[in-house]
Amino acid sequence: MGTTEEIYIEPYQIFCTEEIINSVKILKFGILYKNERGEVIKKVEDISTEREFVERLTATLNEENVEVCHLENIVEDAIY
């Protein structure tokens, strides 16, 4: 009989969308929040075209265990 191993997936995750503007592909990064069942609860799109910025923000949200109700305000504060 094998052993079972729990896999923890961070609730806040980065995602990417692309848009073509004047024949140029633009990558835009956002953050989504998934509950323990893996269902997307909240999604903030088009935060930045700078992947590293959104990755750092996502990591901070996970490290600080931020409640999802604060996500939009934190993103707004980080941008401005």
The Cα 50–Cα 77 span in angstroms is 16
* pLDDT of res. 27: 97
Looking at the domain assignment, is residue 36 inside a domain? Answer: yes
Q: Is 38 left (phi over 0), alpha (psi -120 to 50) or beta?
A: left
* Residue-level length of the chain: 80
- pTM value? 0.87
Looking at the domain assignment, is residue 3 inside a domain? Answer: no
- Structural domain harbouring 34: 12-79
* pLDDT of res. 53: 98
22 Cβ neighbours under 8 A, 6+ residues apart: none
Looking at the domain assignment, is residue 2 inside a domain? Answer: no
The Cα 32–Cα 52 span in angstroms is 16
Q: What is the tally of structural domains in the chain?
A: 1
Can you tell me which residue has the tokens 């997307």?
A: 40
Looking at the domain assignment, is residue 68 inside a domain? Answer: yes
Instruction: Using pLDDT thresholds of 50, 70 and 90, give the confidence band for residue 61.
Output: very high
Is the pLDDT at 51 greater than 90? The verdict is yes
Looking at the domain assignment, is residue 27 inside a domain? Answer: yes
Q: In whole numbers, what is the pLDDT of the chain averaged over residues?
A: 93
* pLDDT of res. 26: 96
